Structure 1
């Protein structure tokens, strides 16, 4: 990671965002998809940077003098508001429509976009959501966490924007890397952590983050949207989007402390409330939101990000199941379950 603290936020040569660090491949892939499909959805865990990637693509297209209409759907509460938002788009010209944060109204957004794209042949839609729309012709770009070096560069940039310059010494670079790993290398979490560096050294911050409560309580200023005000807010929004069995499985999976197999999930988590035959579907639902990820692209081996575990563990304790699930994980690890 040598030298990354010294890297300025110089934008790429093609005029991309100066703050969009570590997303060169994703940016290029999004540009390619927008040329091939009239409906592209960027999906991923809350805080992964979907909105920033979409905004970067929109700015690139706007610089070509093509019309761009951007609509934040986070405040929409019904079908009528979805259609009202989409009515701002004219199909008479080549137009990019950006619908940001569609996850709370997926069905309504899919229906409205299907109608719009059928009538307005000049419109291309770019959607961000924690789940895909699931409509015909939809191209999907999954967005995961940053690579570690890029995450550390982003932490240094966000800290410098707040007037804190990291020294670049070996110990501080390692500490910064551990902070980013603790926060799953999520851009949102890294930005919130950088805000804490105005009052704490990196080492002090890392110690604070060893406490799950402290990591979930990382907060931004009033300019941060409420859904991203803390990691607890961010993961809480995903929790609201889950089905009841997905929420229960999320809580129980937190007992594994990271990586587990689908078979282990069935053996440890199944009971009358959560039948074994329902677990596969619930695992797929959590994976679709980025709350679980496949390890080395192996469908049978799954991993839950650390801060997602923290949130699930809070619910597990709230449900009164913490001791029972930890005991079952221990029995499973010893081959006794």
Structure 2
């Protein structure tokens, strides 16, 4: 394997992520397996690429460059095929007479390598075992796993990425709007419009980028009114900084939410839908009081709760200790799913009827 860093170029830099980038670099310097997790659209891949680019030129802990390889696991449908998928993506030769996994290990043991696995939520079960084997077989291998849930191995160092700070969120909105040919001043009335818009978007970088695309046709206040409508947030779509290279799930907020939804079990999907009409800042006891029934009994609800936490669907609320919330995008998608489920069981499926029932 050569040492050329096969990495996409993060076009916008990393507005407001300096502390997170330092934390990620420190983790990569100290740990063999680092996982960067967070909710849909929060900017995990962009941050990982910035950290990997640094590792490619100046690895921690030794002289010389470290080979950096990025593998997107979007198309991995079965974790049992991880070794084959990695071998093909990395262009490793076939080695007759030995297993695909052993061959992969030999290919990655040739020198210092940082392997970036984007989409590590696909690694449950056998995929995690493959990662464990590679770390044992390749002493100079480091893995940066990026996704909505951790790999689930011992000694895994997890870093959770949260929303942008207010200043960084408004700066990103202005930058993306300017690239669309729509200057957005951040002083006076411009800031008074930009800041509430960013809060409505949960200070989520993907949502901000897609909202900026609309600012060529809509004023910030009109856009806020559109987003506040039922499913208005989910309607945001367009091409952001990644252009043609952007994954399909990043070209609309609905596609991004659907990606997370498809990764959930049936019980997790049902709990997600029901929690979407519970006021933000709830705890597990409130979830039991409002969401449990014969379809979702207590023990099944607890399992689904843990799954939503692990999958970055349910987040700790910074306002109150022991409280939780759904991000704005996932709350909007959950309400849409609950209306669909409830329309067949409880009449019109309106928000008020859903709140009174659940």
Q: Is TM more than 0.5 here?
A: yes
In structure 2, the residue matched to 1:90 is 108
Give the CA deviation at 1:100: 0.7
In structure 1, the residue matched to 2:62 is none
Out of 13, 33, 45, the residue aligned to residue 19 of structure 1 is 13
What TM-score results when the alignment is normalised by the length of structure 1?
A: 0.87
Question: Contact conserved, 1:130 with 1:290, CA < 8 A, in 2?
Answer: yes
Structure 1 range deviating more: 191-200 or 297-306: 297-306
In structure 2, the residue matched to 1:4 is none
Deviations 1:87-124 (A, max 9, x none): 33521211111111121343343122112111111110
Where in structure 1 are there 5+ consecutive unaligned residues?
A: 1-15, 330-337
Deviations 1:254-313 (A, max 9, x none): 111422222211111110000123323322221222222222385631112222111011
Could you tell me how far apart the structure 2 residues matched to 1:109 and 1:159 are?
40
Out of 33, 36, 42, the residue aligned to residue 30 of structure 2 is 36
Out of 139, 153, 166, the residue aligned to residue 121 of structure 1 is 139
Structure 1 range deviating more: 154-163 or 245-254: 154-163
Q: What SS class does the counterpart of residue 319 from structure 1 fall into? A: helix
In structure 2, the residue matched to 1:290 is 312
Question: Contact conserved, 1:46 with 1:235, CA < 8 A, in 2?
Answer: yes
Could you tell me how far apart the structure 2 residues matched to 1:275 and 1:99 are?
36
Could you tell me how far apart the structure 1 residues matched to 2:253 and 2:293 are?
30
Deviations 1:175-233 (A, max 9, x none): 11111111111111111111111222222211211113221011123623111221111
Could you tell me how far apart the structure 1 residues matched to 2:232 and 2:12 are?
30
Q: Please provide the CA RMSD for this pair.
A: 2.0
Could you tell me how far apart the structure 1 residues matched to 2:290 and 2:26 are?
43
Where in structure 2 are there 5+ consecutive unaligned residues?
A: 1-9, 59-64, 91-106
Could you tell me how far apart the structure 2 residues matched to 1:182 and 1:153 are?
15
Out of 127, 137, 145, the residue aligned to residue 109 of structure 1 is 127
Q: Report matched runs for 1:40-79 at 5 Å.
A: 40-64=34-58, 65-79=65-79
In structure 2, the residue matched to 1:207 is 225
What TM-score results when the alignment is normalised by the length of structure 2?
A: 0.82
Question: Contact conserved, 2:68 with 2:115, CA < 8 A, in 1?
Answer: yes
Q: What SS class does the counterpart of residue 143 from structure 2 fall into? A: strand
Give the CA deviation at 1:317: 0.7
Question: Contact conserved, 1:269 with 1:325, CA < 8 A, in 2?
Answer: no
Give the CA deviation at 1:18: 5.3
Aligned CA distance change for structure 1 residues 227 and 102 (closer, same or farther; 3 Å):
same
In structure 1, the residue matched to 2:355 is 326
Could you tell me how far apart the structure 2 residues matched to 1:142 and 1:126 are?
13
Structure 1 range deviating more: 287-296 or 180-189: 287-296
Q: What SS class does the counterpart of residue 190 from structure 2 fall into? A: helix
Q: Report matched runs for 1:156-305 at 5 Å.
A: 156-221=174-239, 223=244, 224-296=246-318, 300-305=322-327
